[in-house]
């Protein structure tokens, strides 16, 4: 379960920002999670709820998740399409010369703190 490691990394980064900016309390953290990132949102929420209790800044914080659609680009016809629906083969021209544009990342989008 790599979600726990992901949560520890996010908490570490948020704590660093809190210390650098003299913040005392985090109300919420918003993560953007790609559809094909391998991160399971329900697992990361469970890990967050367990791990946040160990942080002086985030004991009562909420984790918000925004899903990022996986989008693939076709080099032959230069169009984009939804990755989960069509996988690697372009639905417009049938080409396999495609690559993932978005959807495999996770980002800390927003931190609400005081």
The domain defined by 3-69+102-113 folds into hypothetical protein PF0899 fold (3.30.2320)
State pLDDT tens for residues 80-90: 999 999 999 99
pLDDT at residue 110, rounded to an integer: 97
| Residue 17 burial (C-beta neighbours within 10 Å; 0-12, 13-18, 19+) | middle
Decide: helix, strand or coil at residue 30.
Answer: strand
State pLDDT tens for residues 16-35: 999 999 999 999 999 999 99
The two three-digit tokens of residue 79, written as one number: 């169009």
pLDDT at residue 2, rounded to an integer: 82
Percent of the chain with pLDDT over 70: 99
Q: What residues does each domain of the chain span? A: 3-69+102-113
Helices (H), the chain: 3-20, 41-51, 83-86
The two three-digit tokens of residue 51, written as one number: 């791990």
pTM for the complete prediction? 0.87
pLDDT above 80 for 78: yes
**For 98, which DSSP code?**
E
């Amino acid at each position: 379960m790599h979600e726990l490691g992901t949560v520890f990394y996010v908490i570490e980064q948020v704590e660093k920002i809190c210390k650098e900016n003299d913040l005392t309390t985090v109300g919420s953290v918003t993560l953007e999670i790609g559809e094909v990132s391998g991160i399971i949102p329900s697992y990361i929420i469970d890990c967050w709820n367990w791990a946040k209790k160990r942080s002086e800044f985030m004991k009562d914080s909420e984790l918000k998740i925004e899903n990022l659609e996986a989008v693939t680009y076709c080099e032959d016809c230069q169009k984009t399409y939804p990755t989960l629906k069509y996988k690697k083969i372009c639905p417009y021209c049938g080409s396999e010369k495609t690559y993932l544009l978005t959807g495999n990342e996770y980002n800390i989008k927003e931190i609400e703190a005081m």
